[in-house]
Amino acid sequence: AEAKVLFSVVGMTCAACAGSVEKAIKRLPGIREAAVDVLNGRAQVIFFPDFINEETIRETIDDVGFEATLIP
């Protein structure tokens, strides 16, 4: 099974940083797809819940230097 989540990402205003966020997510295990929308401050991620959870993904975005919040 796979799951899809959407995060709000605060402070991500340039394309380079959006690329860094996307790369960091895609490096994680259990990720199928990550799409970062810099204009809207969103990151959509498709992942395999057997291998990774949304909190780990959220913390990874934080580690790149931005504040990510799961959008329910």
Residue 17 C-beta: closest distance to ligand 9UX, Å: 3
Q: For ligand 9UX, which is the closer residue by CB, 17 or 31?
A: 17
Dist. CA 43–CA 37, nearest whole Å: 6
Q: Is 60 helix (H, G, I), strand (E, B) or coil?
A: helix
Kindly report the CA angle at 21 between 8 and 70, in degrees rounded to 5?
25
Write out the binding residues for ligand 9UX, residues 14-33 only, by CB under 6 A: 14, 16-17
Q: For ligand 9UX, which is the closer residue by CB, 35 or 46?
A: 35
Residue 44 C-beta: closest distance to ligand 9UX, Å: 18
Dist. CA 36–CA 22, nearest whole Å: 6
Residues that bind ligand 9UX (CB under 6 A): 11-14, 16-17
